Structures are given as C-alpha cells and as structure tokens.
Structure 1
Amino acid sequence: MSADATLATGVLVIGGSLSGAWAALSARASGAEVAIVDKGWIGTAGIVAAATGGGYFLLPDDPEQRARTIRIRHDQADGLDDLGFCEKVYEQSYRCYRRLDEWGFRAGRMGSFRGPDSMVFLRRRLQKAGVRILDHSPALELLADAAGTIVGAAGVHRKTGEAWTIRAASVILATGGNAFRSGAMGTGGSTGDGYLLAAEAGAGAVGMEFSGHYGFVAAGSSCTKGGMYHLYGQIFDEDGRKLDPEPGWAAVPAAGRAMMAGKRVYAQIDVPPGSEPAVRGMMPNFFAYFERNGVEPLNNRWPVGLVLEGTVRAAGGLAVADDGATGVAGLYAVGDLADKTRLTGAQMSGAGAAIAWCVASGEWAGASAAGFARVMGPAHATRPGAPLGGAGMRPYGAAATTTATTLERTVQAEILPLEKTLYRSADGIAASLTTLDAAWGDARQALAPGGTGRERLRAREAAALALTARWIYRAADQRTESRGLHRRSDHPHTDPAQRRNIHVSGLDRIETRPATRPRPLPSIQPELK
C-alpha cells in the first residue's frame, strides 16, 4: 500500500491469531469481501503461534464423552457458567475441527493446535480464500458514522509508518486479551487494544475482575504453559511442604503466598519410567528452556516463579451476543477478547475451552458480520465516518508532557505484583485506582502519538494497558467477595448473593452495573434478505 491508502471491504477483521483468522474465513465463506490486519505477521503473531494445545469438542455419537466434556470446568466455575452454552460451543468446535481435517490439516488428534504450524496453515487458507492480508499493520482506531455505527478503522504500517484507512460494513475485533507486558510467552502483543477500541465505540465488558491468574514459569523462563504442571506436577515450598491440593493451577494461590512471604517455590514433574519421550513430545515449547540450559525437568525439582497472564487466560471480556455482536452496530468481538464466563465461570479459561471458543466465536461472528455487510450493501464504502481514537492519539493539551513508557510502567506497577493482584483489598484497590485514574488523565491530556509507526502504536498500547487496568479494578471494587480468579483478602469467602456478572464500560468515567446472571447482549444482526 502507498501512504495514506484507503481501501474498502465488506468485513474487516482486526487481529490475526486463531479467532481472527477463523472469523475471516467464516466471513469469506459467507460471501463477504474480507480484509484482515495485525500488528505482526499473520502466521506467527498471537498466542496460539507460541503454544501447543488442544480444544474441547463434543462427539456426536458418544453420550459419555459429551456429558464429561460439557461439565469439564463446571465444578470450578463458581456458579457462573452455562452448561447449555458449553454444549453449543463445543458442538460448533467439533464442526470446525472436522473442516480443518477436510482442508488437509493434520495435527495428530482432533482439536490439536501445535505452535506456528496451525497458524501458517490458516494463513495459507486465508490466501487461498482471497482474504486481503495486511501484516505489521495495527489498527489504531475505529471509524463511526453519525449514528454510531462502525464503518471501518484506521491504522499504520508499523515498519514504514504509512497510514491506512479501511472502510468496512462491519468490523470484528480479535485482538486478544491483555497480559500487561508481563513477559509471559507469546503475549508481547497482547496489550488490550481491542478493549480500548471497543470502549471508544461505546461497548462494555463483563467479568473483568476475574483476572488474577498467574502462570508458573521455570526461574528464568517465560513459558507459562501449564499443561505439564496440571498433568504431572507438584509444587513445594523451600521447606519441602507440598502446596497444591490438586496438580497445576490450583497451587497458584498457595505458591503466591509463599513467595510473598519470601520463600522460594519449586516444581517437580513426575512421569512414569519409559514415558519421557512421549511426554516431551506433548508440549515442546515447555521443554525448550530446559534443553537450552542443560536442565533435566522430569522427575527432578527446580525453582519456579509466577507471571501474570491477565485477561489472556481469564474468563471475562467484551460483552457479546452468541454471534459476537457487542451492542454497537457493525462491531463484533471474538476469542480471548470476548467474554468466556459462560464457558468457565470465574476461573481460568485457557487451553481446551479457549481454543474451542476461538474457533466457535470466529465462526459465528464471521457469518453474522458478513450478513450485516450484505444488508449494508456496496454503499458502505462511501459512508462518512469520524475517527474515535482518543488517548494516545489526540491529547487535549498542546504539549506532550507524558510518555508511553511512563504510562506503561505506572500501569505495570499497579497490576503485575502479586501483592496487588493475587489478593486484593478495598484499600489496595482504592490506592491503585487513584494512581491509575491520574495516569489516565495525564494520558488524555498530554500523551501524543509520536511520528513513527512504532511510536504511534506504542502510545495506543499504553492507553489500552491503562484502560484495561482501570476496568479490572472498578469491577474488583464492586465484587465484595472472593470468587474464582478474584480474591479479596478483606472478603475471603464467596457470597451466594453475588452470583452474577459485573458489567463495566466507559473511558474517563468508568461505570459498573451488576447483572443477575451472565447473559449475552441482544444480537443486532440485521434480517437478511
């Protein structure tokens, strides 16, 4: 593209990892012209490209497997899941995996996605389907007409600095969650961009307080993939006391308390003799760090730390209908960016549930967005649209007196430490909000975008980090109990009266409201003719 290029398409997908790629393919299969943009190279960008995992699904003729899978996360969901919705998602994911098989994708077992292999395969499918791909081209803001309907997006090529504008009849956000640049593997680009874009358009989120998940990492490693800990692991403190009531993620709170008390924590992965080669093949990314450093991780004990994964493996996200509609006309959301509390309740949503949700939500949102585009017709390309970008793009003040680096570090200091997020309290929440609200005000007043593509992106990412943290803490302040990934030291027990989701929205002024039960917004998909 040349500088300041303007394109037109039916459906624009922002974000090119698993859910975005699948949404683009679904929209294209539904007859829409489709473009997809990402801040990285589509095929290696995103968390899926850095991981190996398997998604849940329901076999059509195995009642026992179906019943077991539907309820696989139910006992840990703390009353906020929806088993009927689980069934719907996992039935759809089965159909998606069958389609992958028909396309020629071979992963060894149904629902398995192994690192970049799966994403490079999907990139080729996008190319074959005629989807226009814009690599290294982050979207910086949405465009909306006078009625608030989304009519496209504008962004920049990260390397060349060339600006782009894409007019679209509908936009699907697939930018993933927010790990606050904690260093967790594969999350460098997961800065909550979609929350900011959606909030500026008027959309909101639910379940953002369920974000206190830390992943175990071998000391010096960035790999937070938890399968080995969950299947074979045990966690101990430096005194040899076993910390986990169950293998894996259940040990995070106890391990965090030990670390906050100044104790070292260790992991041990015990596997049956003779099974070592098969176990290593299950999750190669997990073992890469140990191989590089000459450490044998199996049947030995080694030190671990905890790294925040934020909303990447959390349950909450943008509030959406089953078809991904956000309640803002023409705007959809999929994957980790969208709410998953109906699948996993208040608990961690990673691995099987998240992969299934990525393909199912992408399938539904792609078809719905394509339907919206059909109704809008070719006139969508000429609709006038105003840019919605605020913080990090259009400061109120005349001079830039704050920087993206300063804002990012301020946010990280309030969200990454175990003392801040693993266990919250009213006093801690209030103190963090005071700091974050002031930093947001400074950003709105004085955070300028800079001249290069990277500088413009960095300013918007910093604003997204700040907004996400403020949404999390506002929701956490309203939930005066402990439930799932939201733990309150001043309210350590679960309150049955708070068995509901909390909706959060807004930019300068953040508003919260309770919901009696987690449920999607009414779909705004137009009637197809």
Structure 2
Amino acid sequence: MSFYPQQQTVDGDSHDLHLRTDVLVVGGSIAGCWAALAARRAGAGVILAEKGYVGTAGVVAAATAGGAHTVPGKTEHNDKVVNGRRAVAGGVDDPVLARRVYDETYRISLRLQEMGFEPNPGRPGASPFGGEPRLTSFNGPYSLHFLRTALLKAGVRILDHSPALELLAADGVVTGAAGVNRQSEQSWAVRAGAVILATGGNAFRSGAMGTNGVTGDGHLFGAEAGARLVGMEFSGHYGIAPAGSQTTKGFWYGSATFYDGAGRELPVNGWGAVPDVARAVMETGGAWATINRGGPDMQRFARRTVNLFQFFDRAGIDPFKDRFPLTLLYEGHVRGVGGLVVDDTASTGVPGLYAAGDVTDRTHMTGAQMSGAGPAVSWCLASGEWAGAAASAFAAGPGRALRRHEAVGLGGLGLRAPSGSACPTNALHDLRAAVQAEILPIEKNVFRSLDGIDASTGRLDGLWERHRGTLLGGGVREVVLARETAALLAGARWLYRAARQRTETRGLHRLRDHPASDAAQRDRIVLAGVDGIRLAREPLRAQAGQAAA
C-alpha cells in the first residue's frame, strides 16, 4: 500500500500540508525561477515547488550557459543571432518568433542588471570570443543562488525537496498540484489560480551532467491534463564527453580533431560531429579527440570551464595535446527540442496551465536541431516572463474562484493502482532499466530504423500494459521513483510514436530507411493522450502572433 492518498478527490484531510496561492510554479531552475519572479512582479502570490533545492537544481546549476539576445540598433549582430542556426534547422524553425524571444531576452537582461546580476562574475560583460557582450551568461552556482535570493526577497514561498507528483483540476481547469516532501516524508497539496510547469526536458537518466532530475515529469503532468506535445521525434541528440566524465558541454567541438577507433581522423568538427562519432564507435569500437584547433583565447576560456577541466586534471590528460577517449551520453529533450505545445502567452491550451523552458517545444528557435546554449537559455527566460504574466492574469480572473472548488488529482500511472500493492524498489529499478534499454543505446537512437522503432514500440507498449494497473510506490522514495518511471515510459512511447510517423531524415531524427528530407513532411507531428496516444500532422504556423498549436 502507498502512503500517498489513493482517492482522487483533494480535501482538507487528504494531504499533510495544504496551501493556497495565486500562482504555483513547478520546477526551480532558470525558467521556473524567472516565471515565479515575473508572476510576483505582476502582483500574484507565488509558491514554487522544486524536486531538489532551488539554487542547485537543473542542468544550468551544474554548468554555465549563456543566453543570446538582440541589441537595439545592432542590425548585423541581431541578424546573426536570429539566423545563427537557420542553416541546420531543417526548415521547421520560426525566425519571426525567435526574434521576439531574443528581443525579450534583451529586456530581461536589463532587468537582471538592475537587480545586480553579474553575467560573468569577475569579468562583467565579457565575451570570450569577441563580439557583442553577452548580458545573460549564467554561471551555474552563482546565477541560481542569485535567483533564489531574488525569489525570497520578492516574497515567493519555496518548497525545496518537494517533487510534484500530479496536477489538480476543478471543473476542467488546472487549479494546483500535489506531491511529497522528501525530508519531512509528508504529502502536500497547493491550490492555485494557475499553474506553470517548468520541470525541464527528459534525458532518461542517462547520467549526463545535471540531468538526473529532469525525467519528463512535466510532459506527463501536462498530457494527463489534456495538453499536447510536438517535436518529440527530434530527440536523437547525444552529448560528446570524455570517457569517464559526465560533462557534455560542447563548446570545444569546433576546436577539436576527432578520430575513430583505428586512429583515422574524422573529417568533422562542431555540433555535426555527434553522428560521425557515433558511427565510429559502432563501426570501429571507439572514438577519440584532441582539442588542438583552438588558439590561446579558446584555451584560456576552456580552462575556466571547471567542471570539464577538473576531470582532465584528475585523469592527467592535457586535452590540447593528448588524445582522449570519448563516450556519448543521451540528452534527449534537454538539448533536443520537443515538448509541450504552448502559444504566444505560454499557455498549453488547458485552462489554468502554462509552461516555460525545456518542458515546452522549442522548434521555433532551432528547428529540428539541438536547442542548447544561447537559444535554450533565451527561451527559458522569455517563456518564463510570458508564463508568469499570463498565469497571474488568469489567477486574478477565472482561476480565483475555482481554486476553492473541489479538486481531483489527475495522476495516473505510478501514483494510483487498483491492485493497491506497492512495488518493491528493485522492481521499479528494473522497469526503469527496461525503458532506458530502448532509448539510451546509440545504435537505437542516433540512427533509427523503421524495424527498430516498431520493435521498441512493441516492447514499450507491452511494459505499459503490464504495469498500468500495478505500478505503485510505497514510501516517499518509492512513490517518486514510480512516478518518474511512469514519465520515462510515457516519454519513450511518445518519442517512438512520433518517430514512426516521420518517414524521412530531418535534423535530430535520422532514419536509415529514408536518409533524405522530404519537402512534403515539413510539418509538425502533434501527440495527445497518455494511455491511448493520438497523433495528428499539422502545417507550420503561417505567421507570428497566432497560437503555436
């Protein structure tokens, strides 16, 4: 039996802690923190619930990332920012919307400066490779601590170590969420006038740096509420890392020479190296690199990337002279682009539910290619700004009365089970490993095949059917694990459903059976549903300003 309430109706006795607020934000990395601050500036009372600790949670907290932005009057610079990835976007990006994001990021950068934020602590305004100063460079530990301090100063209540497990709804409107606190081992429920999901993407617990907490929870929560997903097939991104390291930062790719397992040089560099490195691993048993193409400026900048160079120093490797072995770590929808469909106000289309950051679709920014670095951070900030403003307005209007209506929990697989018997921890780990076995191997997901997709889909559907009525955690740790595992299983099914529909190669979806792009498939594959999955193909939106769906 699970300690988590099995009845769906949420009342005063169903959870240990009951709270009410105007806006609830689920997720506490950059997007969630900025959404909470934006909602607070709009006058809303805000609670932020985070699976980990706000200040160390999320991918950026483990690294450093910089947001791109336009600069008023700098036409040449602005064109480079907006069009920087158009050549590899596969024709499914939206430069008009991207420009709106980058313009918004500039305004946010000014606000951050007013708040005292330093984009490069100790080197204000510096840009390592020249050009316009980057005003939104996020040094992980510094920037997340800065945002936590700003949240507390603004009066946002933070629930640390409090993973959400489900959304709550009343009369078809999302009116809160419920979850558990890892430290007190109690359940909580927050009734709110609106909810913002900012839970990040899904790397399927691959071990890539900073990704263990991003398990697709928000995708599952949103789908259970009726939200749709898009771009899930553009998920075949793996980060190149030195073997033995979790660090997948890719700034050095363009300054490296890559080799296959036989020592032959690979004629690639930059982000395009990933499939060639994968092919070398599969065909020659390994891949190697030396960062020998960069000049002194690049080397000085690289040395400041502590999380990478600590590994090299400990291993006794001089990466600028020595060849070092490589591994590929899956990054999925963290650096891929698929996620929840949102409109220009960050609404999911489900009343009362908004979303920001990596949990959402980002094809408008970089098309079918990876969204990491500048575009991803810019989207986190801009979408957080829009979500905070729109959620506050909804909470002050339609959501105000509904947060006092009787609510029901929307959580399904992993949270409630007719059997009533909790799964042993080892059974939960076995199920998670079975899902990972269909997603993480490079031979399955760097280069896909129709037969491989069908085989994986069959196995994943079998797991779903086998566990749909029995997956249940007993204690706090097991309930969280069960729910995360449910999100991984659901995410894998969406990924391969979308991949099967796109019978072409485009960006991060590489299909052996159809190695070329098909102009007739320059569209969007939209999914809905958790148990029974529905698919639709929709044209790209014609112009900015209309809903992205």
The partner residue of 1:504 within 521, 527, 531 is 527
Q: Following the alignment from structure 2 to structure 1, what is the Cα–Cα distance between the partners of residues 150 and 525?
A: 38
Change (3 A) 1:522 1:464: farther
* Secondary structure at 2:193 match in 1: strand
Q: Following the alignment from structure 1 to structure 2, what is the Cα–Cα distance between the partners of residues 356 and 142?
A: 27
Structure 1 residue 293: Cα displacement = 2.1
Change (3 A) 1:298 1:340: same
Q: Following the alignment from structure 1 to structure 2, what is the Cα–Cα distance between the partners of residues 5 and 359?
A: 31
The partner residue of 1:218 within 242, 262, 270 is 242
Partner in structure 1 of residue 5 of structure 2: none
The partner residue of 1:38 within 29, 37, 50 is 50
Structure 1 residue 283: Cα displacement = 2.2
Structure 1 residue 158: Cα displacement = 1.5
- 1:83-122 matches, within 5 Å, as 83-106=95-118, 107=120, 108-109=124-125, 110-122=135-147
Partner in structure 2 of residue 430 of structure 1: 454
Q: Following the alignment from structure 1 to structure 2, what is the Cα–Cα distance between the partners of residues 273 and 500?
A: 41
Partner in structure 1 of residue 252 of structure 2: 228
Q: Following the alignment from structure 1 to structure 2, what is the Cα–Cα distance between the partners of residues 324 and 276?
A: 37
| Amino acid of the structure 2 residue aligned with 1:101 | Q
| Amino acid of the structure 1 residue aligned with 2:404 | T
Change (3 A) 1:431 1:61: same
State whether residues 210 and 346 of structure 1, in contact with CA within 8 Å, keep that contact through their aligned partners in structure 2. Answer: yes
TM-score norm. by structure 2 comes to 0.92
Partner in structure 2 of residue 201 of structure 1: 225
* Secondary structure at 1:154 match in 2: strand
| Amino acid of the structure 1 residue aligned with 2:456 | S
- 1:40-59 matches, within 5 Å, as 40-59=52-71
State whether residues 204 and 488 of structure 2, in contact with CA within 8 Å, keep that contact through their aligned partners in structure 1. Answer: yes
Give unmatched runs, 5+ long, in structure 2: 1-12, 126-134
Partner in structure 2 of residue 527 of structure 1: none
Partner in structure 1 of residue 485 of structure 2: 462
Partner in structure 2 of residue 471 of structure 1: 494
Deviates more, 1:109-118 or 1:129-138: 109-118
* Secondary structure at 2:68 match in 1: coil
Q: Following the alignment from structure 1 to structure 2, what is the Cα–Cα distance between the partners of residues 317 and 180?
A: 14
Q: How many pairs were matched up? A: 519
The partner residue of 1:241 within 264, 274, 283 is 264
Partner in structure 2 of residue 259 of structure 1: 281
- 1:439-450 matches, within 5 Å, as 439-450=463-474
Partner in structure 1 of residue 10 of structure 2: none
State whether residues 207 and 315 of structure 1, in contact with CA within 8 Å, keep that contact through their aligned partners in structure 2. Answer: yes
Q: Following the alignment from structure 1 to structure 2, what is the Cα–Cα distance between the partners of residues 449 and 86?
A: 42
- 1:312-331 matches, within 5 Å, as 312-331=334-353
The partner residue of 1:138 within 163, 168, 171 is 163
The partner residue of 2:202 within 169, 172, 178 is 178
Change (3 A) 1:343 1:336: same
| Amino acid of the structure 2 residue aligned with 1:10 | D
Q: Following the alignment from structure 1 to structure 2, what is the Cα–Cα distance between the partners of residues 280 and 348?
A: 22
* Secondary structure at 2:21 match in 1: strand
Identity %: 50
Q: Does 1:482 align with 2:505?
A: yes
Partner in structure 1 of residue 516 of structure 2: 493
State whether residues 261 and 281 of structure 2, in contact with CA within 8 Å, keep that contact through their aligned partners in structure 1. Answer: no
Structure 1 residue 299: Cα displacement = 3.0
Partner in structure 2 of residue 25 of structure 1: 37
Q: Following the alignment from structure 1 to structure 2, what is the Cα–Cα distance between the partners of residues 380 and 145?
A: 7
State whether residues 194 and 399 of structure 2, in contact with CA within 8 Å, keep that contact through their aligned partners in structure 1. Answer: no
Residues 462-498 of structure 1 deviation map (CA, whole Å, 9 limit, x = unaligned):
0000000000000000000000000111111110100
Q: Following the alignment from structure 2 to structure 1, what is the Cα–Cα distance between the partners of residues 140 and 86?
A: 28
Structure 1 residue 440: Cα displacement = 1.4
Q: Following the alignment from structure 1 to structure 2, what is the Cα–Cα distance between the partners of residues 444 and 433?
A: 16
Structure 1 residue 279: Cα displacement = 2.3
Structure 1 residue 241: Cα displacement = 2.6
Partner in structure 1 of residue 132 of structure 2: none
Change (3 A) 1:99 1:437: same
State whether residues 441 and 508 of structure 1, in contact with CA within 8 Å, keep that contact through their aligned partners in structure 2. Answer: no
Q: Following the alignment from structure 1 to structure 2, what is the Cα–Cα distance between the partners of residues 489 and 427?
A: 10
Partner in structure 1 of residue 410 of structure 2: 388
State whether residues 219 and 305 of structure 1, in contact with CA within 8 Å, keep that contact through their aligned partners in structure 2. Answer: yes
Change (3 A) 1:249 1:273: closer
* Secondary structure at 2:354 match in 1: strand
Structure 1 residue 400: Cα displacement = 4.8
TM-score norm. by structure 1 comes to 0.95
| Amino acid of the structure 2 residue aligned with 1:186 | G
Q: Following the alignment from structure 1 to structure 2, what is the Cα–Cα distance between the partners of residues 155 and 400?
A: 17
Structure 1 residue 522: Cα displacement = 6.5
Change (3 A) 1:272 1:212: closer
Structure 1 residue 229: Cα displacement = 1.6
* Secondary structure at 1:90 match in 2: helix
- RMSD in angstroms over aligned alpha carbons? 1.8
Structure 1 residue 278: Cα displacement = 2.0
Give unmatched runs, 5+ long, in structure 1: 525-529
| Amino acid of the structure 1 residue aligned with 2:389 | A
Partner in structure 1 of residue 186 of structure 2: 162
Structure 1 residue 381: Cα displacement = 3.5
Change (3 A) 1:252 1:390: same
Structure 1 residue 398: Cα displacement = 4.5
| Amino acid of the structure 2 residue aligned with 1:476 | A
Partner in structure 2 of residue 7 of structure 1: 19
State whether residues 423 and 473 of structure 2, in contact with CA within 8 Å, keep that contact through their aligned partners in structure 1. Answer: no
Change (3 A) 1:380 1:227: same
Residues 51-101 of structure 1 deviation map (CA, whole Å, 9 limit, x = unaligned):
112111000011110111110010000000111011100000111111111
Partner in structure 1 of residue 152 of structure 2: 127
Structure 1 residue 376: Cα displacement = 3.0
Q: Following the alignment from structure 1 to structure 2, what is the Cα–Cα distance between the partners of residues 424 and 295?
A: 34
Structure 1 residue 296: Cα displacement = 1.3
Residues 83-130 of structure 1 deviation map (CA, whole Å, 9 limit, x = unaligned):
101110000011111111111111233120011110000000000000
* Secondary structure at 1:465 match in 2: helix
Structure 1 residue 258: Cα displacement = 1.4
State whether residues 352 and 399 of structure 2, in contact with CA within 8 Å, keep that contact through their aligned partners in structure 1. Answer: no
State whether residues 395 and 443 of structure 1, in contact with CA within 8 Å, keep that contact through their aligned partners in structure 2. Answer: no
